[in-house]
């Protein structure tokens, strides 16, 4: 098959530019993602993103996570203001054995640390994104204050402004923020977080390992990544947690704090997708206050 001709605005052009190889095939996966086959037989993923700082943040996040030498992430071939080119992860199946290994690897990733809560990856922008929502990485010294000011309240205000959360309902989330110091559990050092660790961003590779994609990486509390896995489900989650606890036991009461850590992603989803997630965020706030 001959090389595919393309304009500079197409995924195949980005793949050729960042890998230095000719392109022989393209398969769109979604409106923003394509699999591109190179002339040496390799397949790379080409993702487009128009959000300011989005591609730069994702590339920096993948490299930062990969630098820990713990969880596997696809290699970054290159990026610009719009396009990101990475390796493709060959598909496999989740298994209990792979899940235990993933738990251990995730614990090692978190333990590799960050400079501060809210610290962006090296080379990553302050103004990043989580999914299609903006996310600002502003360093803070203590987790409760930082989590309230830079992860919960900005999205609560946006949800109220949009009418997704009614003004009279916002007080329950605000009360959680006021009590965060007592609700947060023992103080911990900043962890190196994936930051958007829902099931869709965990790929089970043909090599028997879990791979992480699409990070919103930053320094944070390790229980936040685990709460995200609980929120949308994860194959063999009990085994993931067994592996994690074996490598780095969680502080007492961590299960009671899952709803607290889910406030952030639920409010992000409320901003992006509407009222049903706002209702879940309010339920999480009430459950946290009822502890």
Q: Which are the catalytic amino acids?
A: 196
Length of the chain: 291
Return d(Cα 92, Cα 234) in angstroms, integer.
15
Residue 242, burial from CB neighbour count under 10 angstroms (0-12, 13-18, 19+): middle
How would you write 96-137 as a 3-class SS string? HHHHHHHHHHHHHHHHCCCCCECCCCCCCCCEEEECCEEEEC
Return d(Cα 167, Cα 171) in angstroms, integer.
8
Q: Which residues pair with 84 in a beta bridge?
A: 47, 79
CB contact burial 123-135 (16+ within 10 A = b; e otherwise):
ebbebbbbbebbb
Return d(Cα 97, Cα 71) in angstroms, integer.
15
Return d(Cα 229, Cα 139) in angstroms, integer.
24
The answer to whether 145 and 225 are in contact (CB under 8 A) is no
Which DSSP string do the residues of 15-83 spell out, in sequence order?
A: HHHHH---EEEEEE-SSSEEEEEETTS-EEEEEE--STTHHHHHHHHHHHHHHTTSSB-PPEEEE-SSE
């Amino acid at each position: 098959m001959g090389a595919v001709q393309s304009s500079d605005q197409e995924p195949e052009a980005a793949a050729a530019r960042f890998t230095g190889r000719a392109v022989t095939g393209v398969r769109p996966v979604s409106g923003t993602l394509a699999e591109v086959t190179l002339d040496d037989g390799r397949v790379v993923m080409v993702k487009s993103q128009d959000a300011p700082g989005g591609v730069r943040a994702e590339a920096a996040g993948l490299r930062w996570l990969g630098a820990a030498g713990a969880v596997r992430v696809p290699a970054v071939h290159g990026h610009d203001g719009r396009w990101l080119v990475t390796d493709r992860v060959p598909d496999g199946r989740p298994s209990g054995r792979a899940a235990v290994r993933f738990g251990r690897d995730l614990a090692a990733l978190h333990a590799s640390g960050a400079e501060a809560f809210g610290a962006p990856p090296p080379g990553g922008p302050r103004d990043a994104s989580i999914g299609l929502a903006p996310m600002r990485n502003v360093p803070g010294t203590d987790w409760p204050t930082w989590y309230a000011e830079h992860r919960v309240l900005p999205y609560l205000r946006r949800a109220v402004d949009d009418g997704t959360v009614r003004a009279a309902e916002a007080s329950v989330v605000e009360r959680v923020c006021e009590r965060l110091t007592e609700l947060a559990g023992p103080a911990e050092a900043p962890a190196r977080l994936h930051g958007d660790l829902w099931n869709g961003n965990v790929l089970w590779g043909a090599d028997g390992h879990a791979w992480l994609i699409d990070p919103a990486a930053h320094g944070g509390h390790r229980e936040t990544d685990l709460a995200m896995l609980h929120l949308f489900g994860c194959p063999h989650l009990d085994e993931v947690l067994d592996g994690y606890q074996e490598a780095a036991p969680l502080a007492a009461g961590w299960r009671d704090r899952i709803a607290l850590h889910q406030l952030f992603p639920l409010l992000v989803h409320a901003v992006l997708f509407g009222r049903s997630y706002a209702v879940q965020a309010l339920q999480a706030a009430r459950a946290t206050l009822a502890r």
